[in-house]
Amino acid sequence: MLDAAPTPHLLYGTAWKEERTESLTALALSQGFRGIDTANQRKHYYEAAVGAAVTAAIARGAVSRAELFLQSKFTFQSGQDHRLPYDSAASVATQVQQSFRSSLEHFSTDYLDSFVLHGPSSRDGLKDDDVEAWRALEALAQSGKVRFIGVSNFSLAQLEELLKLSRLPPRFLQNRCYARTGWDRAVRRVCEEHGVVYQGFSLLTARGLD
């Protein structure tokens, strides 16, 4: 990973594309995108198809693995449908590991650039499952199998709580960001104070007040 890609300013988001996922990801790569955001959550993403587009592009020499920034996510069972990438009876830590290995297989790679906790297990604070999941992400980062770890869909209070308990702080926070919620200013301010890179989504599509 010594020649791994820098963090791009824009990531190509792959949610909600279903049968067009592979072709649209291939198009994004051909148009110059080098950052890909996905999740091992078949309910909203088709990560295997994203991986197929990426591996095909690498195989034909259009791009190298070292040029790409690949970001996936672990999603708790409450955010999944029946197509789980892990054993539902396993511990949360084991589920994180199984989901991560599945993502590596989808991309035919031995590391990810970023692996993100796709949201807390509840809207109120952080629970034991959240801490267990985060510890599993920290272990993956310490093993060298992922360059960065982060979180998504966290409130300000949840982010502040995570920053206090983290052994490795999150590198990224990915949240919906639009006018009606004040562009997530308070969360972005805390991210800036703690060196967390804020990834905003729904910037162009979410409707809100100016």
Distance CA 116, CA 154 (A): 11
Is the Cα torsion angle 64, 65, 71, 73 positive or negative in sign? positive
| pTM to 2 decimal places | 0.93
Summarize pLDDT for 74-93 with one digit per residue, the tens: 999 999 999 999 999 999 99
Q: How much is the pLDDT for 155?
A: 95
Name the pairing type of β-strands 69-74 and 35-37.
parallel
Residue 210 binned pLDDT confidence (cut-offs 50, 70, 90):
very low
pLDDT surpasses 50 at 209 = no
Every domain of the chain and the residues it spans: 12-201
Topology of domain 12-201 in CATH is: TIM Barrel (3.20.20)
Burial class (CB in 10 A: 0-12, 13-18, 19+), 7: middle
